[in-house]
């Protein structure tokens, strides 16, 4: 009877189980007048197993009723973990729990927050591990399940990311990775029992150079933050080469902290300092030498001097040297001179930030310089999670489109064999982030104007001038695909018509389209808009990806397709006829969005968040489990 009552009590609260069972046992002993012997003492491990089983049964009911579902199915993992152990506790030794706590603390280097994994609570659990008191069993079971939850969550987050990308992006179609090949239930338990938790954590992290680079970048920028970060540049006019301004000294310090600027040797081969090369050989020669402020439009504030040592070629700067030792003009601080070395440092910063590389400090460059060190740390953390979304089981052969980086890479056997620049969707017509497989290529493609572009771009132009259609070699088709006369269409309300542009010179899709199945009508294509590739930020398209040197990629993709070498491709293009060529072997394509660049295993750079997506990921990343 006692056993039956205890079995039924498993489905009630932990406290009820223990009080009920232990209370009946004590009452029975008192009734017989016996003193409890050692062997009559409750088996704490068995009591814990009983309660763990009861909680897993209750959890199983919640899962079955759909009240406990998550994208990572961790409730099922927790149930399976204890079922295969027959519900025996695993965190019953201090060395195991201490190793788990130590491993959880290393998650900070992955951009995760250790306290999200109950580190503080688990530290408080350590003193109770040696207790055999039944009164401590409720707390020990709670600590046991908390430790296992933390363990499983940490493993999953290292493998698939903490943030659910599908919850932030309706286009997302990457499935969570199955981590069972690396860590099934038996291996997860074995790692605890054999003291291999740190090794399992390391193994389950993405084994990719991008991830290592991001982690190294996080260490570096946290160190900069600990040292005080960097100064901000105050608002002011555009700073240009050879200008003199107190803000230049701040700029020099800012770029020296982040490594773009390194102080040069004081004098060059001609015996001139960098500042003297800008201002002239005598301008800094005496302590009383000074410069009178330029009247240039770019130097309108106090203490700003614009200079140029090539007066014949300058139409907006002036240099006036006050050489008299009696002059009251202050001496020029060389640190305030925007010399050639600082200009090169600015250009390096601009290149890495996807800014226009002009060596000047205009509004966009000033804004990028003034992004705080904490914001950069957050940006790295966001991209570490994005890396965890994607970097497991990356195909050895693939086309990777880096949307925020405006670039494309063709990877063969795990190595990049071709790179180019791309133009991506505008901020209000974003390129979707998804995966697919390239299956065929269209040579000399026609272009069927998508409904959104037809409505927002093409129809307004036709309404102004119906001759727009002829000028752009566009045909009007009815719902059955039959060509109709544009003059017979009421362009104020055209109804169900389709507009298609013929292939040829200046066609919107250029000479080739690279196609892959997707529900967004997105593809890679050639383009007549070649000059736009010279821009640093290239969000110009309506969602599709415009590829520079697209025919080179076409040739690479068709390399495994019989009878389609470079000569065959050129012959088909010259014929002018639209033709579809199916690839003999499909090639995976990934459209990815990262706002950090991995320049090497130890160096990173930052990209603009062109679609303003970082904030949502950061908010989800900072949310407690």
For 63-121, how does the pLDDT look when each residue is reduced to its tens digit (9 = 90+)? Answer: 887 765 556 678 888 998 999 999 999 999 999 999 999 999 999 999 999 999 999 99
Q: Which residue has the higher pLDDT, 370 or 25?
A: 370
- Stretch 500-528: mean pLDDT: 94
Q: Is the per-residue pLDDT at 588 higher than 90?
A: yes
pLDDT of residue 65: 79
Mean pLDDT computed over 220-243: 96
For residue 39, pLDDT over 90 is answered with no
Which tokens belong to 191?
């790692």
With residues binned 3-state (H G I as helix, E B as strand, rest as coil), the percentages for the chain, rounded to 5, are: 45, 15, 40
Return the minimum-mean-pLDDT range out of 94-98, 323-327, 509-513, 602-606: 323-327
Q: Residue 624 pLDDT more than 80?
A: yes
**What local confidence, expressed as pLDDT, does residue 602 receive?**
86
Looking at the predicted structure, is the pLDDT value of residue 455 above 50? yes
* 567-570 long-range contacts, CB within 8 A, separation 24+: 569/443
Distance of CA 76 to the CA centre of its chain: 29
Residue 290: DSSP 8-state: E
The answer to whether the CB of 574 falls within 8 A of the CB of 444 is no
> Given a cut of 50, is residue 292 above it in pLDDT?
no
Contact 440, 581 (CB under 8 A): yes
Is 50 exceeded by the pLDDT of residue 516? yes
Instruction: Indicate if the pLDDT at residue 299 is higher than 60.
Output: no
User: How confident is the model over 375-392, as a mean pLDDT?
Assistant: 96
Radius of gyration of the chain (CA): 34
Least confident of 127-136, 146-155, 286-295, 436-445: 286-295
CA distance linking residue 183 with residue 235, whole number of Å? 53
- 161 near 385, Cβ under 8 Å? yes
Which of residues 325 and 533 earns the better pLDDT score?
Answer: 533
Overall residue count recorded for the chain in this entry: 625
Average pLDDT value for residue range 256-273: 84
Q: How far apart are the first and last CA of the chain?
A: 42
Supply the pLDDT for residue 594. Answer: 95
DSSP structure class, residue 455:
I
Judge whether 587 and 437 are in contact, CB under 8 Å. yes
Nearest CA to 181 out of 153, 204, 149, 211 is that of 204
Residue holding tokens 């009251």? 328
The span from the CA of 438 to the CA of 464, in Å, is 39
> In this structure, what token pair is assigned to residue 461?
């132009």
Cα 71-76-77 angle, rounded to 5 deg: 90
Q: Which residue has the tokens 């000479």?
A: 511
pLDDT category at 429 given cuts 50, 70, 90 is confident
**Band of the pLDDT at 605, cuts 50, 70, 90?**
very high
Q: What pLDDT is attached to residue 117?
A: 96
Taking the C-alpha atoms of residue 169 and residue 407, their distance in angstroms, rounded to an integer, is 21
Percent of the chain with pLDDT over 90: 67
pLDDT in tens, 527-550: 999 999 999 999 999 899 999 999
Q: Are 399 and 409 in contact (CB under 8 A)?
A: yes
Q: How does pLDDT run across 546-581, given as a tens digit for each residue?
A: 999 999 999 999 999 999 999 999 999 999 999 999
| Distance between CA atoms of residues 305 and 290, nearest Å | 10
The pLDDT assigned to 392 comes to: 85
Specify whether the CB–CB gap between 270 and 330 falls below 8 A.
Answer: no
- Other C-beta atoms lying within 10 Å of the C-beta of residue 33: 6
CB atoms within 10 A of CB 389: 23
Task: Give the pLDDT score at 465.
Answer: 93
pLDDT per residue as tens digits for the range 119-170: 999 999 988 887 888 899 999 999 999 999 999 999 999 999 999 998 888 7
User: In sequence order, what are the residues at sequence separation of 6 or more whose Cβ sits closer than 8 angstroms to the Cβ of residue 527?
Assistant: 423, 508, 509, 510, 546, 547, 550
**d(Cα 557, Cα 443) in Å, to the nearest integer?**
13
Mean of pLDDT values over 482-504: 92
* Res. 4 pLDDT band, cuts 50 70 90: very low
**Is 22 a residue whose pLDDT tops 50?**
no
pLDDT above 50 for 327: no
Q: Report the pLDDT value the prediction gives residue 328, as an integer from 0 to 100.
A: 52
**Residue 258: pLDDT over 60:** yes
What is the phi/psi pair of residue 555, to 5°?
A: -65, -40
Query: What pLDDT digit, counting tens, does each position of 169-204 carry?
Result: 877 877 777 777 777 888 899 999 999 999 999 999
Most confident of 54-63, 302-311, 437-446: 437-446
**pLDDT number for residue 330:** 66
Mean pLDDT over each residue of the chain, to the nearest integer: 85
**Average of per-residue pLDDT across 276-289:** 56
Residue 293's pLDDT is 37
Mean pLDDT of 402-406: 96
The pTM assigned to this predicted structure is 0.83
Residue corresponding to tokens 């099922």: 76
Reduce the DSSP state of residue 362 to 3 states and report it.
coil
Q: Are 404 and 607 in contact (CB under 8 A)?
A: yes
Q: What is the mean pLDDT of residues 328-351?
A: 90
Q: What's the pLDDT score for residue 220?
A: 97
The answer to whether 272 touches 281, Cβ cutoff 8 Å, is yes
């Amino acid at each position: 009877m006692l056993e039956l009552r205890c079995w039924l009590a498993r489905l009630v609260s932990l406290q009820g189980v223990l009080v009920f069972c232990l209370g009946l046992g004590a009452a029975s002993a008192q009734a017989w007048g016996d003193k409890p012997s050692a062997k009559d003492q409750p088996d704490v491990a068995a009591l814990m197993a009983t309660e763990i089983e009861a909680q897993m049964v209750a959890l199983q009911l919640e899962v079955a009723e759909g009240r406990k579902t998550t994208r990572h199915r961790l409730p099922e993992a927790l149930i399976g973990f204890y079922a295969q152990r027959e519900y025996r506790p695993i965190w019953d030794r201090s060395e195991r729990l201490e190793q788990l706590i130590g491993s959880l603390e290393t998650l900070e280097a992955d951009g995760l927050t250790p306290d999200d994994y109950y580190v503080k609570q688990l530290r408080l659990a350590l003193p109770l591990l040696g207790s055999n008191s039944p009164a401590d069993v409720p707390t020990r079971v709670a600590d046991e399940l908390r430790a296992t939850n933390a363990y499983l969550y940490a493993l999953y987050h290292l493998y698939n990311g903490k943030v659910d990308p599908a919850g932030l992006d309706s286009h997302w179609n990457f499935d969570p990775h199955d981590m069972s090949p690396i860590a099934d239930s038996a291996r997860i338990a074995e790692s605890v029992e054999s003291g291999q938790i740190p090794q399992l954590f390391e193994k389950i992290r993405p084994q990719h150079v991008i991830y290592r680079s991001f982690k190294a970048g996080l260490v570096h920028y946290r160190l900069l933050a600990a040292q005080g970060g960097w100064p901000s540049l105050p608002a002011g006019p555009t700073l240009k080469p050879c200008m003199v301004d107190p803000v230049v000294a701040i700029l020099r310090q800012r770029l020296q902290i982040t490594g773009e600027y390194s102080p040069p040797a004081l004098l060059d081969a001609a015996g001139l300092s960098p500042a003297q090369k800008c201002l002239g050989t005598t301008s800094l020669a005496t302590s009383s030498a000074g410069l009178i402020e330029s009247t240039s439009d770019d130097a309108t504030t106090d203490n700003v001097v614009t200079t140029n040592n090539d007066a014949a070629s300058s139409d907006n700067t002036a240099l006036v040297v006050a050489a008299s030792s009696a002059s009251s003009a202050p001496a020029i601080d060389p640190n305030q001179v925007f010399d050639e070395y600082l200009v090169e440092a600015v250009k390096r910063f601009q290149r890495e930030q996807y800014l226009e590389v002009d060596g000047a400090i205009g509004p966009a460059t000033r804004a990028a310089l003034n992004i705080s060190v904490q914001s950069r740390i957050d940006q790295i953390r966001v991209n570490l999670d994005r890396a965890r979304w994607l970097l497991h089981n990356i195909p050895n052969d693939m086309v990777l489109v880096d949307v925020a980086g405006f670039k494309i890479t063709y990877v063969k056997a795990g190595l990049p064999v071709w790179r180019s620049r791309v133009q991506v969707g505008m901020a209000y017509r974003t390129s979707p982030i998804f995966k697919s497989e390239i299956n065929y290529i269209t040579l000399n493609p026609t272009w069927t104007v998508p409904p959104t572009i037809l409505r927002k771009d093409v129809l307004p132009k036709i309404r102004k001038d119906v001759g727009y259609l002829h000028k752009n070699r566009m045909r009007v088709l009815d719902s059955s695909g039959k060509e109709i006369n544009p003059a017979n269409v009421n362009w104020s309300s055209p109804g169900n018509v389709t507009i298609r542009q013929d292939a040829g010179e200046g066609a919107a899709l250029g000479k080739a389209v690279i196609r892959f199945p997707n529900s967004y009508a997105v593809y890679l294509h050639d383009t007549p808009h070649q000059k736009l590739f010279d821009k640093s930020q290239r969000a110009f398209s309506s969602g599709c990806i415009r590829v520079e040197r697209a025919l080179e990629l076409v040739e690479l993709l068709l390399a495994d397709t019989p009878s389609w070498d470079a000569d065959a491709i050129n012959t088909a293009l010259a014929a002018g006829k639209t033709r579809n060529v199916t690839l003999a072997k499909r090639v995976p394509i990934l459209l990815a969005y990262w706002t950090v660049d991995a320049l090497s295993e130890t160096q990173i750079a930052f990209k603009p968040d062109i679609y303003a997506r970082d904030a949502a990921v950061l908010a989800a990343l900072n949310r407690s489990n």
